[in-house]
Amino acid sequence: MKYATRVGRQMTVRELLIEALRAAPEELRPILYYLVNAYNYDEQTLREIIREVRPEEEEPMMSQFAQEIKKKALLEGIQQGRQEGHLEGRQEGRLEGLLEGLLEGEAKGETKGEAKLLMRQLSRRFQPLPNEVTDRIQKADPNTIEIWADRILDAKSLDEVFLE
């Protein structure tokens, strides 16, 4: 059966198969089922084999094979759909995670840069900066840093910058 799908050898295999099945016609159904599932034999070849061995069974067997092939194709389609959906979901999840990570990293970097600039301006204007001021700036959210950065322009002392 190994070469049963090669066109040139399919004829020889088919003729040998017909001869063997004539001697054991009760094996027709399981062997044809195997050929359909394992080697994807085409409808015409199956019909020819059935006609040679059991002509009265051609239509019922072909109908059954059609139903089984349809069922197999449906199951394969469902499986493929699940795999594609799973893959697509994983790709979307990765992309969302990457984008979220990039945006979060960008926001943190921006906040860190603003905090660094604020500390530089404060230390230039009100030097030296106490450690608690540096710690407070590093722990502050972006909006608070903006407020303090605006206040530095008018503040007369370091305390005025951090008034609540």
Say whether pLDDT at 85 is over 90: no
Say whether pLDDT at 139 is over 90: yes
Q: What is the pLDDT of residue 86?
A: 85
Backbone angles phi, psi at 126, to 5 degrees: -125, 50
Cα separation values, 125 from 19, 76, 140, Å? 104, 73, 20
Assigned domain for 132 exists: yes
Assigned domain for 55 exists: no
Please give the average per-residue pLDDT across 62-70, as a whole number.
78
Q: What is the pLDDT of residue 21?
A: 83
Nearest to 55 by CA among 25, 30, 35, 20: 25
Q: What is the pLDDT of residue 6?
A: 56
Assigned domain for 59 exists: no
Q: What is the distance between the alpha carbons of residues 160 and 148, in angstroms, rounded to a whole number?
A: 9
Q: How confident is the model at residue 119 (pLDDT cuts 50, 70, 90)?
A: very high
Assigned domain for 3 exists: no
Please give the average per-residue pLDDT across 152-162, as a whole number.
91
Q: What is the distance between the alpha carbons of residues 67 and 112, in angstroms, rounded to a whole number?
A: 66
Q: How confident is the model at residue 156 (pLDDT cuts 50, 70, 90)?
A: very high
Assigned domain for 125 exists: yes
Q: Residue 86 is part of which domain span?
A: 78-161
Whether the bond into 128 is cis, omega within 30 of 0 = yes
Find how far residue 69's CA is from the centre of its chain.
28
Assigned domain for 143 exists: yes
Assigned domain for 39 exists: no
Q: What is the distance between the alpha carbons of residues 87 and 101, in angstroms, rounded to a whole number?
A: 21
Q: What is the pLDDT of residue 8?
A: 55
User: Structurally, how many domains does the chain consist of?
Assistant: 1
Q: How confident is the model at residue 140 (pLDDT cuts 50, 70, 90)?
A: very high
Residue 23's CB is within 10 A of a number of other CB atoms, namely: 8
Say whether pLDDT at 5 is over 70: no
Assigned domain for 48 exists: no
Residue 144's CB is within 10 A of a number of other CB atoms, namely: 15
- Residues 32, 68: contact at Cβ < 8 Å? no
Please give the average per-residue pLDDT across 88-115, as a whole number.
89
